[in-house]
Structure formats: C-alpha cells, structure tokens
Amino acid sequence: MNDIFTLYQKELLNSLFVILILVFLKFTLSKIIRKVGDISNYNAARSTLIIRYVNIAVFLVGISIISIIWNVNFEDLGLLISSIFAVIGVALFAQWSILSNVTAGVILFFTFPFKIGDVIEIQDKDFPIRATIEDIKAFHLMLRTEEGDLVTYPNNLLLQKGVKVSPQAVEDDGSESL
C-alpha cells in the first residue's frame, strides 16, 4: 500500500491541490452569484439554478484537469468518448430548444432589467402580451395577464422579441394602479 502512495505521490498531491482550488472556486462563484442576485433583487431560486449550472461547469473542468494530471491515455478512450458525444449530440439536437431556453435563462439572470413583479409588454405581432412576471424558471417565464390568465413564455423568445418594462403594476383583479 505504501508503494502505491510513493509511486503516485506527485499525482495525488496535484489532484488534492486541484480539488482544493476547485472547491474554493465553487464557493467563491456561489457567493458572487448570490451577491449579484441580492443586488439585482432576484428570486433566490434563480440564483440557486445559476449556481447549479456553474457547479456542473466547475466539475467538468476539474475532471478534465485531473485526467491530465493522471496522464489518461485519450487514444484508448477515443471510441468511448466519440460514442458518448454521438449519443449526446443526437439528444441535444433533438432538444435544442430546451438548451436554448436554459442558455437564455442564464443570460436573463445576468443582463435583463426585469424581475419578478415587474409588468412587461412583449412586442410580438402574432402574440402581443402585457403581463406581470410571477416567476422566472430555467426554461420559461410565468406571466399573469391583466385578464388573470397564467401564461408561460419561453426564455429564448424574450431574447428574440422586444420587451418593454412598464412602470405600472397590474393588480390581482386586473386593474392597473399608478
């Protein structure tokens, strides 16, 4: 057993160092995202969702770095990796709209000027809508119209359509207040 530790001492120490850095990075990025969410007055669920995406990215980067440290022979894994990417590629192509909605959700978290409770007008010639944002999910917005209807609107369409944030709030009974 001691032979294994002495034989792979450099790889074990480097792996431990990378894991410590990645854990530090994970907590630091989580704090930053939560602070951005608090400053922007976003829902905590949105911040948690973005943190989950960042954690997955940090994990994948960590796996890649540790694979390099341990000198994984990627030529032997070529068939396995190419098969996995082929299956993932087919699945992602079939689900491209879901991925575009998730990506749009991340963009909306960091850049757009509206939040839960704001009244927005979506400038769409086929389906114009004026509604209050009730919730922002990973794939769609939950909107409450002035008539009281609950509408889900895909995140990726918000990036494609003009969105006007109104200064007036919509009341529960459908009337507007100044």
> For residues 155 and 141, is the Cβ–Cβ distance under 8 A?
yes
- Tell whether 123 and 163 lie within a shared domain: yes
pLDDT given for residue 173 in this prediction: 47
Q: What does the pLDDT average to over 110-119? A: 82
- Tell whether 92 and 124 lie within a shared domain: no
Hey, which residues does 22 pair with through a beta bridge? none
Domain count, the chain: 2
pLDDT tens for each residue of 133-147: 998 888 888 999 999
pLDDT band at residue 82, thresholds of 50, 70 and 90? confident
- Better-predicted residue by pLDDT, 131 or 166: 131
CATH number of the CATH domain containing 156: 2.30.30.60
d(CA 100, CA 81): 24
- Tell whether 88 and 137 lie within a shared domain: no
Q: Is residue 101 part of a domain?
A: yes
- Tell whether 98 and 70 lie within a shared domain: yes
Domain end marker among 109, 126, 160? 109
- Tokens 């009730």 label which residue? 134
- Tell whether 85 and 19 lie within a shared domain: yes
d(CA 81, CA 87): 10
Nearest partner of 53 among 112, 156, 142, 138, judged by Cα: 138
Which domain, by its residues, includes 54?
2-109
- Better-predicted residue by pLDDT, 124 or 131: 131
- Tell whether 98 and 145 lie within a shared domain: no
Domain end marker among 109, 139, 163? 109
Encoding tokens for residue 167? 């200064």
d(CA 146, CA 117): 13
